[in-house]
Amino acid sequence: MDEREEARSLVERARSDGVLLLSLQFTDIIGNIKSVTIPLRHLESALVEGVWFDGSSVEGFSRVCESDMLLKPDPKTYRVMSWLPVERRIARIICDLYRPDGEPFEGDPRYVLRQQVERARKMGFIYNTGSELEFFLFKTENGPALKPIPFDVGGYFDSSQGDEAARVRREMMFALEAMGMDVEMAHHEVAAGQHEINIRFADALTSADNNITLKYTVKAVAQQNGVYATFMPKPIFGINGSGMHTHQSLSDLEGRNLFYGPDDPYGLSPLAYHFIAGQLAHARALAAVIAPTVNSYKRLVPGYEAPVYICWGQINRSALIRIPRCSPGQEGKTRAEFRAPDPSCNPYLALAVMLAAGLDGIERKLEPPPPIEENVYEFTPEELQEYDVETLPSDLREALEALRQDPVVLEALGKHIGPWFLRAKEREWREYSIQVTEWELERYLGVL
């Protein structure tokens, strides 16, 4: 089927679905969803010819003097927005970005991930990932200002069929399933008002698309139910923050899991060990991309099930990388869970740099340090030194400095996104560092 025939086939599918409008979506470098909307009658030309838009209006994309850019919809990402009324049905299509000369735009986060995925494919690998996205549901009865008041008081895996939070979470699951996503599990998380939805693993590009889809679907369904959802990593002091634990594996081009090693006590292959070692070696630089906000580092503190120390293990949830157990006969599910990412990241960039770090470990045949199965949070400084355990950056400034000094991670971001990301995040840090916070007022105002 040629491009024109494929376009006409999708138009017929959209017409039979009752779709009236198409939302053509992409993300900016930070990970915010952007879109233009077209009527159904323009879908065929959009698929074949693309849609021009002003790239200079999107921060980090291009200058005014080189503003013309082209959206090319990816037909595989067509999904009907199931939560909208049937009589006003809208579908979305995720787009790739191109320059006027027809070349891919280097500042497109989806393109950055495509580049690393293609690099892995040339090495004989398919990168598979599945993320566990955590979020909070907050009440909206506080006027126009957003206040983090939890929608419920449940705890980890709490279940009440009549509970309003459980009902909203089920509606989110129905909406995601209706959009063609394979929801593996949804449940209440540890903190009051905190929830988690897991989507089945897929190739990295599909997985990143799914993460973007999940975030805006969760927000839309929450809004319809009179609450608001936030993927902010640490909205409330003193309770658990929200992570985006990401399960990873490499398969060969026929789909066989290459992380499985039948004779290893952890069930891992030499390839898996090299991959893990690469991510551990680049962990401090990765932090800037997978935990990219000032607030991210309020989550990455001891005592709240978030990783702080650069180590790995199997039963150890304080480790940066955990190897989940697989039942006999389930060796195809062998994987490494990377626990540092949070849902404020751009998933395309996060998966791109995580893959680049793992591939670097494979190319250099790096070996990880011995596993640690104790609770690293309880280690003394002497024990940390004995085990040679480093820590993740303590704040965004430290993470950006680590990124600046890591050519592997910077190269994965590309010549366009790498420098822009550093500038934008350094500006964010400077703005934050001069703020006068409520904590400072309470601590000092009345005593100094």
Query: Which position among 12, 49, 54, 378 bears the catalytic label?
Result: 54
Tell me if residue 134 is catalytic: yes
Helix, strand or coil for residue 3?
A: helix
Q: 271 to each of 267, 321, 360, 439, how far by Cα in Å?
A: 12, 15, 11, 48
Dist CA 412 CA 408 (whole Å): 6
Dist CA 10 CA 19 (whole Å): 11
The packing angle between helices 347-363 and 283-290, to 10°, is: 170
φ, ψ of residue 392 in degrees (nearest 5): -65, 160
Tell me if residue 317 is catalytic: yes
Q: Position of tokens 């053509």?
A: 24
Query: Which position among 96, 152, 337, 360 bears the catalytic label?
Result: 337
Query: Which position among 79, 110, 245, 274 bears the catalytic label?
Result: 245
Q: How far is CA 224 from the centre of its chain?
A: 24
Query: Which position among 152, 189, 209, 360 bears the catalytic label?
Result: 189
Query: Which position among 92, 96, 108, 134 bears the catalytic label?
Result: 134
Query: Which position among 96, 108, 132, 152 bears the catalytic label?
Result: 132
Q: How far is CA 200 from the centre of its chain?
A: 14
Q: 20 to each of 15, 94, 221, 351, how far by Cα in Å?
A: 8, 17, 21, 34
Q: Are 198 and 184 in contact (CB under 8 A)?
A: yes
Query: Which position among 317, 395, 398, 428 bears the catalytic label?
Result: 317
Tell me if residue 196 is catalytic: yes
The total number of residues written for the chain in this structure: 448
Q: Are 154 and 188 in contact (CB under 8 A)?
A: yes
Dist CA 278 CA 6 (whole Å): 40
Dist CA 79 CA 44 (whole Å): 16
Closest CA to 282 of 345, 366, 346: 366
To the nearest 10°, report the CA torsion of 393, 212, 159, 234.
Answer: 30
Tell me if residue 382 is catalytic: no
Tell me if residue 337 is catalytic: yes
Catalytically annotated residues: 54, 132, 134, 189, 196, 245, 317, 337, 339
